[in-house]
Structure 1
């Protein structure tokens, strides 16, 4: 399956220098002197250009991009429709603040969100800047609408780096360590993790476990919201067992609890549908989005049932930059590209191609304990052979091997033992397979 990529950047892997090259090393020295040490980077190369499935560094090296800036450049870098919309908007005006003097772009994005998110009920949206900000505002809305305060999150969850979203996030290092105390009235339940759940546990049984803990430790009548990533991201690209999310959604509906689907990473064509929730047959009350929504510009949203979104008093939602007009123009361009260029189908095609290759690699390497994901949101979990004991050391070594050979892969997982693949949906099959070939070489050499 081919995808037209409008870019002058050659779509190939080419290493002209060892990584990092001399120019990247110079910039790294400047970075060390000027940038806080707490801001880390996965790869030691500095980017000059990017497009299609390739990143070019400042030394002229061409790298295969299997990360998309953590699922942000879903339509590829510098997508023509995104670029055109941004250029026109920058020429017209860059900011007025929607809370002061509104503009059409914000309204148009909200209309698109109402159209694309699951469910045919009346919906409204509020726009923000980041996924964490969207999640935080979704919790605000749920608490205000229900008059309750307790929030239940899932084990292995990742929802952001603000104080409230750190409380929702399960993983301590590097996201929470040393940053407490955190926001209160947050509770956690085990979700569905098929590889690590008791053998044979169904989605319904996993949901019953979650519900029992929530009801026993909190009380359903005290819970404002249950929040979960329909396909968990940083926690390890965990796909719940079939029926888990549907059972949780039913329990929420029966008990007046707001079901929040955090689709920040899984939304906007990434999993082969507009939203992962569709594949699980659920209609969330609120959906949070960011990352792939705007082709690389900062934009996020909460979209949900109109009666919930309207429960908050005027002035209770907003922010100086929320729904910035340039970011809205980018979002409209990105959404148009996803629809016009068939990127939902392309995500499904990527899953077929990549999964087949990954299973070939797995057949030769028992260290690959699981292959999972949907669309172009795929992962392999690396374990000690013969069991499910996490092998974070091998995971790090495999990622480093790929990086040194010009393939951008990312790691994740509560135990640090998952390689995640998030290629831009415009990547060609040849580049995708070449990148996975390097991954295979890593296992051949290291496992």
Structure 2
């Protein structure tokens, strides 16, 4: 218990100390926090939050909270470009050596950061300013969180930041609406695991697509996803059209950190594979069609391979993602794989951009280029504009307006419509 209490006090003091070595050169962040008076109010809100936080409150039972508040105010002031200097006993100490034996976990580190975010929200600090302070604190995770942090693997810790698991992409992977990101589904830290169940519905003028599935993230490193897509025609002569597809996905984070490495340009990088199995075509029996190969596809199953790079820029309140996908899929595989025009695997770029309005709300846009393999299907790129809401770590809701291009030559209308996705997880 003594060790845990020391860990809690040391974490707050040392984190701010380490960040004070590289404060902002100008004082716009300091002024955005409200100057010394505003910072004092933030700290006065912050301290009760951590003392009430079930995740970390026990670590501060024997801490001199008055002194801690004074040191925090000094450090937030100095860090944000203000006229203060840190005067505590940890000044000049090496953070890695201070924390090596304290067994501080990612969940504890993130709990403190989340409480600080809430404290700034309650004091009406603009999100753009709050994120700049978080951007200075985040890189200290490398020195403060020890690799030996021991948490129970039997229960998810839900320790990662809100929204950092992304939403559920149309093929079941964690990411945006139409493209996967390098983020791992769920809120489990590297010491734990997390997961979600999700449902997505897309409705255009003449078609609808429903996707439902589950995803599990292990140690913030590996993601496993299962999804089913159900495509339906709504307009004659395709009003009886029904196509189903099952998708199994694996994603592995191989480098970088999208959240903590705010002092580095290297993004978080993940590689992924999606195995897709088309279940056949219903509703076209009068035409003698029961399989996508009868529509010109070469196969009714196939693989997508992709690499994604994701970077969260807290100072700019932005999330950037780029994905390169190797695929033969026609309309994600709904119309099979390969075709009479082309049967080779092609590399297709995908990009996402999101603005973090606050820690619970994001606005963004996505683009996904796609191959044109079938004469029957004049396939075009997908793109959308979305809003994602994360009221808590158990629920997210995403709405988008999507442009899906042509679906078949039997219907030349550009397919545009609404996209709605609900995710429940931990």
Shared fold (TM-score greater than 0.5)? no
Give the structure with the larger helix fraction.
1
Give the structure with the larger strand fraction.
2
Is the radius of gyration larger for structure 1 or structure 2? 2
Which TM-score tier does this pair reach, normalised by the shorter chain?
under 0.3
